[in-house]
Structure 1
Amino acid sequence: MGKTSTGVMSTSQCRKLDLGFMLKNGWIKKGCAMKGQMSWTGENTAEIETVYTDIEKYVRMVYTITDRQGAVTNYDYKIELVTVPSNLGKGEILYLLCPETSIRARILYSAYGYGKYVHRNWYLEQYGKRLYYNTQLCTKYEYHNTRYHTLDRKINDLIDKLFNSKHRKMHYKGKPTKDQQRLFLLESKRLHYDNKRNRVLIKKLGITI
């Protein structure tokens, strides 16, 4: 865990604690207290305890880090869980509360040799080093191309969902369904980034239209 780096790091190069992943895979369940082990590719495991009840809400992390010099550091701390009402007026949205900044986040990161999972902005404040998203380190073409393919995957997934559903409806009472509206929006964004990437490529190749 935790490798010291003197260069720029992106979010894909460091370990992350992803709330969405934990919820999807049953690590956190409302009304439950759970324990287990979580592992990362090529790294050690962490003992995790999650509690999501009306009385307490937290994720407890217990793990050990050995640095390049062989120094061992044991970690045992809690990351509070907080909820905010959904802007749709139904239910609530769950967040991790950064143990260093108290900023709400869906993902916390362990980077630049720091052992705890914290909000990405903390590294700039503490070390003067920014933790970049992958798209921030891309060229313009790479950025637009990545966005295009990401949206393309989302569109294909949504189309599969719509056409494989037994109760598929594209319109309800003469109006597009929410899924259909989302499909229109995704397709509009995909077209936008397709145009952007093509313009950059044409300019790069020196093609005159």
Structure 2
Amino acid sequence: MGRWSNSPDEVECLKCISISDLRKLGYLEPNISMNRNLYWTNKNGERTSSITVIIDTTETKGSVTFDYTFNQSQKINYTVKLITKPANLGNGLLWFFVCPSTFKVCRKLHLNSGYFLHRTAFNDLYYEKQLQSKKWRDWEKVFGTYLDDRLYEQLYKKHFKKFYNGKPTKKYLQLMKKINARKDIDFENVEKFLLA
């Protein structure tokens, strides 16, 4: 008989609700009161789950109430505080969640054990990189940029700015540095690394 897996959960695999998603959907504005549904989809675009969010805000604070069914049987309803802080550039306010468990101010809440909370509220929750073996991390240090196709995805995103005011942006220079580093890989080192 097989054993239950005791491997920890990865942050990247959990459902999450972020401030930026709520802003993009137009759900997070000053002085509003609304009741909306959020949906998660699979790779084929089919809806896999949903949650009702009830948002009430003033100019500088508010609350979001989550209402959903967990594991098709457990009805869950609770409220998370919203606060604002001045933006670094001095051009308005930024919204944040206040985790009801840890009271940490954050921009994302992750679903684990039935509740959307800050990631530090859960035991045995790690980022994918933290769970990689030492050999795999060494492999990524040496050949990571060569194997990473996300560099080109970022470079050719619809609204990616390569230049601002006639000068290359910092993000563009960073991406080009990583892409150009691929040309310097010595494939004899790859063979040595694999045989080690």
TM over 0.5: yes
Q: How does the TM-score come out when normalised to structure 2?
A: 0.72
Alignment of 1:60 onto 2:55: no
Structure 1 residues 15, 161: CA separation in 2 closer, same or farther (over 3 Å shift)? closer
Structure 1 residues 120, 162: CA separation in 2 closer, same or farther (over 3 Å shift)? closer
User: 1:46-85 alignment to 2 at 5 Å?
Assistant: 46-54=51-59, 56-66=61-71, 72-85=73-86
Structure 1: segments with no counterpart, 5+ residues: 164-168
Identity across aligned pairs (percent)? 17
Distance 2:28 2:7 in 1: 34
The DSSP-based 3-state class of the residue aligned with 2:115 is: coil
- Asked if the contact 1:121–1:131 (Cα under 8 Å) also holds between the matched residues in 2, the reply is no
- Flag the structure with more relative contact order, 1 or 2, with Cα contacts below 8 A and sequence separation at least 6: 1
User: 1:165-204 alignment to 2 at 5 Å?
Assistant: 170-171=164-165, 176=166, 180-181=167-168, 183=169, 185-194=170-179, 195=181, 199=185, 203-204=189-190
Count of matched residue pairs: 178
How far apart are residue 156 of structure 1 and its match? Answer: 2.5
- Asked if the contact 2:61–2:84 (Cα under 8 Å) also holds between the matched residues in 1, the reply is no
Q: Residue 206 of structure 1: which of 163, 174, 192 is its match?
A: 192
Structure having the higher helix fraction is: 1
The DSSP-based 3-state class of the residue aligned with 2:116 is: coil
Distance 2:119 2:146 in 1: 22
Structure 2: segments with no counterpart, 5+ residues: 42-46
Distance 1:196 1:137 in 2: 25
Distance 1:201 1:79 in 2: 52
How far apart are residue 14 of structure 1 and its match? Answer: 1.4
Letter in 2 for 1:57: G
- Asked if the contact 2:30–2:60 (Cα under 8 Å) also holds between the matched residues in 1, the reply is no
- Asked if the contact 2:161–2:172 (Cα under 8 Å) also holds between the matched residues in 1, the reply is no
How far apart are residue 100 of structure 1 and its match? Answer: 0.7
Structure having the higher strand fraction is: 2
Structure 1 residues 105, 116: CA separation in 2 closer, same or farther (over 3 Å shift)? same
Q: Deviations over 1:24-66 (max 9, x none)?
A: 0122222211111122236432221112223751111011112
Distance 1:85 1:34 in 2: 24
Which portions of structure 1, spanning 4 or more consecutive aligned residues, are displaced by more than 6 angstroms? Answer: none
